[in-house]
A and B are shown apart, each in its own frame.
Chain A
Amino acid sequence: MATLITHSPILIIAIPLVAAFLTPLIGMAGSKARNTLVVVSLTFVAFLVFALARDVVANGIRVYTLGSASPSLTIPPGSMVPVRIILEVDAMSIFFGIIWAIVSLAAAMFSLSHIADETGQNRFYTLLLLMVTGGFGMMFTGDLFNLFVFLEIASISGGALIAFRTRSADTQEGGFKYIVVSAIAGLMILFATGLLYAQYNSLNMATLAHVIQFTASDKIALALLLVAFTMKTGMVPLHLWFPDAYSVAPASITGMLVITSHACMYAAFRVCFTLYGGVIDGLVVGWIIVITGLLTMFVGVTMAVFQKDVMRFMSYHAISQLGYMWVGVGVGLAVLGTPELGTYGRDAMTGGIFHILNHAMYKPLLFFTGGALFHCTGTRDLAKMGGLAHKMKWTAILYIIGTLSISGLPPLNGFSSKILIYESVYRFHPILTMTGIIVSILTLASFTKAFHSAFMGAELPEYEKVREVPRSMIIGMVILAAGIVFITLFPAQVVGWILRPAANALIDQGAYINAVMGAIP
């Protein structure tokens, strides 16, 4: 078990990769064998992630040096700087890893029947597993260039999956937009990496954080990295591609794309807090992030009200919810290094991170219910649906859970994280809390309206033959709903176990550097 945990950072990345390339071979033996492979490998990865999470919370940061004489040997003898590829897993990384493991497993389960009628399923699962690899890689890597590589792996497979259904032009256009945005963001990150490498001769984030000066070209690099990651996350001035891509993808993939968007958010946090943590002008960058967050919250929800397509409607809500996380963590960044960090900054960050966890549970759940509606009715138009609660009881119940959670109604988990954000950011600036509450009310209103038009009312004659969705889709949704119920029942335990360590890991830049640089001053 100890050996397994030692190697688990790379195993979590490598197992989906191996499974991805086994999929076409096993797929020749039949779809059942292939589906088993996908589910078993993702379950095993989820198990490893939880084992690693326990270890990281208990024993601190875990590093893994690829190809060295020992995984913990970050700096080879006779050298002053790390030269190998290093994976570095702290509480923040593993927190995102847990989310990704749960959602990818749920998405794979959901896909088993959601995709069952399509051709080219072997490719679908290969790409899905590659996307899992890319996501885990982004979260665990300690190296700026590998961040770019894994981001591109996740983006390319994600773009291909958005365009997976080739029957209509929408999917191709959505996928094309996504891949164009990813390519431009990727090149910006590469350019910034070059700027940093030119000055400090290193690609390792811990080493860079150790020596960074905040010169003019460092500022350019920071701006490029932040713009690239906000663009990939889907924040407001750069969000136009987001609903187009998310609404046309197969629902299981949309759920996963939400988490890749969070992974880009993680990368942005990593850049602000760890890479530039010691030198950044927190107040300025923090305010920029907070204002972007506010705009995102407001624009997202106001656009969502007018949508008739159920998936577009949910995509705009996803944008709106991203704003809460930015506001929470942005406030933490703005007060970084000041006494206010202890009084409310840490709580704001914990709230923001808590909201990421909640959003990662209810948003894929809602997208899955949207996908279930599409699966049964063949349309995404809310105006054409109606009375479906009679036929699809499970979906209706799961939709209600998701709705209550996203609107932040007590006592659900959405409420716990939102109240933590409201209370702490109120002390930074009251307008943030007011906007948050207004957005929350609008969210509830529009989701209630959508519920009414899809599920309530009399049974429509054209949906006479609609049946409840197949069992594996329900299992996929229930995994996420179970997550919501668990967080609802034990919010304090979840905060204490993983969220506070995650927030502290972001603040504590020294520990991140020390884990790689060791005793070298």
Chain B
Amino acid sequence: MERVLLNFPFVAAALLVGISLYIIIFKRNLIKLIMGISMMASGVNLFLVALGYRAEGNAPIYTEVPAGRMVLPVPQALTLTSIVINVAVLALMLTMVIQIYRHTGSLDAEKSRRMKG
């Protein structure tokens, strides 16, 4: 049972990535596409954080830490960096979608001339 619980985050991460892949490949609405990419980022981030977890571990904060082992801090640092990058990517993508909407009046990838493929 404990093994199942420990692997649970990985299952969730796989589900997130799988759903997001489905969205990215099959949905033609640009906003949905962005949501898919954002979800994929969440899935990968969850995977990274879950990697660093050690059973019964404390958060890796030195201030007033209880005795015992800590979870790995490096994956958490990676996740933070990746979140920051994703914020930038998300902002840029949304700006472009707003511009596309202004020019074409549509958010449908099929309707705009070059978004196919």
Contact = CB atoms under 8 A, between A and B. Distances in A.
Establish whether A and B are touching in the complex (CB under 8 Å).
yes
Interface of A: 145, 148-149, 152, 156, 159-160, 163, 166, 168-170, 172-177, 179-180, 182-184, 186-187, 190-191, 193-194, 197-198, 203, 240, 244
B99 interface: yes
B104 A169 contact: yes
Interface stretch (B1-9, B43-51, B57-65): B43-51
Interface string B72-94: 00110010011001101100110
B71 interface: no
Contacts, number: 90
B103 to A, nearest CB: 3
A166 B101 CA distance: 12
Contacts of B47: 191, 194
A160 B88 CA distance: 11
Given A191-B47, A194-B48, A156 B89 contact: yes
A149 B85 contact: yes
Contact of A183 (B37, B51, B78, B103): B37
Contacts of A186: 85, 89
A180 B51 contact: no
A156 B115 contact: no
Contacts of B48: 190, 194
B70 interface: no
9 contacts: A145-B81, A156-B89, A173-B100, A176-B97, A187-B40, A190-B48, A197-B74, A203-B74, A244-B114
B24 interface: yes
Interface centre among B30, B41, B85, B112 (most CB of A within 10 A): B85
B11 interface: no
Nearest to A175: B96
B44 A172 contact: no
Interface of B: 17, 24, 30, 33, 37, 40-41, 44, 47-48, 51, 74-75, 78, 81-82, 85-86, 88-89, 92-93, 96-97, 99-100, 103-104, 112-115, 117
Given A169-B103, A173-B114, A160 B24 contact: no
Contacts of B114: 170, 173-174, 177, 244
A173 B104 CA distance: 10
**Interface SS, B side:** helix
B17 to A, nearest CB: 8
Contacts of A170: 113-114
A169 B89 contact: no
Nearest to A83: B74
Contacts of B75: 194, 197
Contacts of A240: 117
A5 B54 CA distance: 43
A163 B99 contact: yes
B93 A180 contact: yes
Contacts of B85: 149, 152, 156, 186
Contact of A169 (B74, B81, B86, B100): B100
A190 B17 CA distance: 13
Given A152-B85, A156-B89, A187-B41, A172 B24 contact: no
A168 B103 contact: yes
A193 B82 CA distance: 12
A363 B46 CA distance: 41
A177 B82 contact: no
Nearest to A243: B114
Contacts of A176: 30, 93, 96-97, 100, 115
Interface centre among B40, B78, B114 (most CB of A within 10 A): B114
B96 A187 contact: no
A173 B110 CA distance: 12
A190 B41 CA distance: 9
Contacts of B41: 183, 187
A172 B100 contact: yes
A190 B24 contact: no
Contact of A173 (B17, B44, B112): B112
A457 B89 CA distance: 47
B40 A166 contact: no
A429 B71 CA distance: 52
Contacts of B96: 159, 163, 172, 175-176, 179
Nearest to B96: A176
A117 to B, nearest CB: 20
Given A177-B115, A180-B93, A194 B44 contact: yes
Given A145-B81, A159-B92, A182-B89, 15 more contacts: A152-B88, A163-B99, A170-B113, A173-B112, A176-B30, A177-B114, A177-B115, A183-B86, A183-B89, A184-B24, A184-B40, A190-B82, A193-B78, A194-B48, A240-B117
